[in-house]
Amino acid sequence: MRKTTTFAAAREVGNFNRGDSDWLFITGPRTVTLPGSLRGHGTGSHGFLALFPGHTPPIATIRAFGAQVFRSFCVPKVTTPTPTLYEVSTGVREREKVTHCMRIPSVVLLLVSLATGVSAHGDEGTRVSWATATKGGGFQLFGATIADVINTVDERLDVETLATRGSRQNLQLLEAGSVDVGQVEGNAARVALDGIDRPAVDLKVLSVMYPNPGMFVVRGDSDYRDIDDLKGHPIAFGTQASGLRILAQDVLDGLGLKPDSDFRQIILGKAAEGPGLVMGGEAEALWGAGIGWPGFVEIANGPAGARFIAPSTGQIERILRKHPHLREMTVPAGTYRGQEEDVRSVGLWSLILVRPDLDSETVYRLARAIHRGQGTLAERLPQGRYTRPENTVRYVTIDRLHPGAARYYREIGLLPADVGSLAHDASPLDAHAPATGNTGQRRW
């Protein structure tokens, strides 16, 4: 009989949302904790847990981030709303075997490996854990799409996306080594990488994502025309850990305003909640950013349409004087339904960051797959047209690039062989390009 070991005193990294169910992700060598009196069990050198919502289908697709990855296995049909705890063998060849099963009254479940990091198992390819954000937001949509593109272009890569609470949590997960790749909004990246009011983090850039000009959206049939009109009203400012809230704070601070005192601030549990609040009249506006941002798309496609409210020309000048790290950006006319004119605002580029110790060959192949799949990405997402290696080397200094990414960019002629010849006179984090490419070229 296989020996079973009980683990305790784990460090919980966080709870994440994927679809309609919560996922519990725990890391730490051979340790795990669960709510109440439950204990996690493991076998061999790694322990695994699976917790499913009550509507568990006969075939459950399971994801693990670490030395073992279980694709899927049959589980009994669950006829009650009670989740089920499964203890699973760690053997690679036995990864579909359920060795123990019992009912529990708890809520959440995820199959997790207690050892994290990239793993390769023969023909199964190299697994890469990729942190996105909450369901319904731009990061989650972008992450799911680019992961699919990468996996299609390079069959040796297996990118697994993880829905998180957003940029701030992605930074925490990257620092802890709990994920390999994380999408991070520009303001959150700047604070972390430059060590502003906190120790600087040692993370590297794989690629830029897209520019994020910030603005409000209101229903098209509302009377609101400018930012001052929104003062005192309920405004949805995004989720707690979203980097977009940092952008909102900087934009409003430049105008002498604060989200929590000059507005009736609403913090969302999930990004997907925002559009419904606006269209249902519970919030007068939603703050967001970017090209093809899902919240903006949903409201613009709604029965009342949308109107976008951004800083005026004079307000942009005030904001940039107070926060010179921001850059003027433009959302081109026609980006959203009913948007007949360009919308000018300020923002930063979002980044795809990786752990500095992530295998260089893996990062090289990720950069190559993004480049080779760029056409497909741009066809599927309007913001995907900005995720180009040319933009990465234009707006990111060589010292910020992961060596594996830099190797690929040199291979395709975008970086000189002698990287020491690249000299930048700008602070690596105080500049970003506009969405339309019509202002400065200073770099991260």
> Could you tell me the pTM of the whole model?
0.67
Phi, psi of 239 (to 5 degrees): -85, 165
Could you say which residues of the chain have pLDDT below 50? Answer: 1-123, 420-442
d(CA 183, CA 60): 27
- Judge contact between 116 and 66, C-beta under 8 A: yes
The ranges of the chain annotated as CATH 3.40.190.10 are 121-210+349-421, 211-348
Element (H, E) at 286: strand 285-289
d(CA 128, CA 118): 5
pLDDT at position 443:
53
d(CA 353, CA 367): 12
d(CA 300, CA 241): 25
Q: Which residues contact 57 (CB under 8 A, 6 or more apart)?
A: none
pLDDT at position 65:
30
Rama region for 76: left / alpha / beta (φ>0; ψ in -120 to 50; rest): beta
- Give ∠ CA 140-143-147 in degrees, rounded to 5: 145
pLDDT at position 240:
86
Q: Which CATH superfamily is domain 211-348 in?
A: Periplasmic binding protein-like II (3.40.190.10)
Q: Which CATH superfamily is domain 121-210+349-421 in?
A: Periplasmic binding protein-like II (3.40.190.10)
Q: What is the secondary structure of 369-406 as a DSSP string? A: HHHHTHHHHHHH-GGGGG--HHHHHHHS-GGGB-HHHH
Q: Take residue 402 and report the two structure tokens written for it.
A: 């992961």
pLDDT at position 409:
98
With CA atoms as reference, report the closest residue to 184 among 346, 352, 17, 329. 352
- Give ∠ CA 165-167-173 in degrees, rounded to 5: 80
pLDDT at position 244:
87
pLDDT at position 234:
98
With CA atoms as reference, report the closest residue to 294 among 329, 268, 318. 268
pLDDT at position 124:
61
pLDDT at position 444:
61
